[in-house]
Each structure stands twice: as structure tokens, then as C-alpha cells.
């Protein structure tokens, strides 16, 4: 089982995390390259809000866990992933 093999599980988790976050620099670069310089500040602010929303979802998940338990967070995540 994977849970009893941390030597395999930890590198897999790190690789997943790296792959999930590796596009942020590219996204910012493309955004700045293709947006008119007079509008870059607005679009960079919007991108920052998008990145910050991940923190907000963690807070929301904490409230959901506190009120309904861990299963509810997995159900909500599964429902959102199907959209």
C-alpha cells in the first residue's frame, strides 16, 4: 500500500505539488507580454486575486470540516471537479 511506503509517497506528492504550481510564472509572463502596458496593473491585480482565492478556499474548507466533517470536503471537491 502507498501509505506504508513514504519513500515512494513523498516524492510523488512533491512532484504533484511542483506540477500544479509550475505554471504560475508562465501565466504571469504571458499575461504581461500580451496585455497593453497601460492595463497591466489591472490584470496583474486580477491575477493576484486569483492566486489569493486558493487561501480563501482553505479557510472555507476549514469551516466546512469544523461544521460537517472531512467527508463533506471531499464531496464538495468532487462536485466542483466535475464542473
Percent of the chain past pLDDT 90, that is, above it, reads 18
Mean pLDDT (the chain) is 85
pLDDT of residue 68: 94
Mean pLDDT of 9-34: 86
Mean pLDDT of 43-66: 84
pLDDT of residue 74: 86
d(CA 62, CA 73) in angstroms, rounded, equals 9
| Closest of 52, 83, 79 to residue 64, by C-alpha | 79
Q: Vertex 73, ends 69 and 76: CA angle to 5°?
A: 135
Task: Say whether pLDDT at 44 is over 80.
Answer: yes
Torsion, Cα 77 61 59 42, to 10 degrees, reads 10
d(CA 14, CA 35) in angstroms, rounded, equals 33
Amino acid at each position: 500500500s502507498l501509505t506504508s511506503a513514504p519513500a515512494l509517497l513523498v516524492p510523488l506528492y512533491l512532484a504533484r505539488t511542483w506540477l500544479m504550481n509550475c505554471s504560475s510564472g508562465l501565466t504571469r509572463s504571458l499575461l504581461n507580454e500580451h496585455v497593453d502596458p497601460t492595463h497591466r496593473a489591472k490584470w496583474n491585480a486580477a491575477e493576484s486575486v486569483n492566486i489569493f482565492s486558493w487561501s480563501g478556499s482553505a479557510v472555507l474548507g476549514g469551516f466546512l470540516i469544523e461544521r460537517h466533517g472531512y467527508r463533506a470536503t471531499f464531496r464538495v471537491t468532487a462536485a466542483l471537479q466535475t464542473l
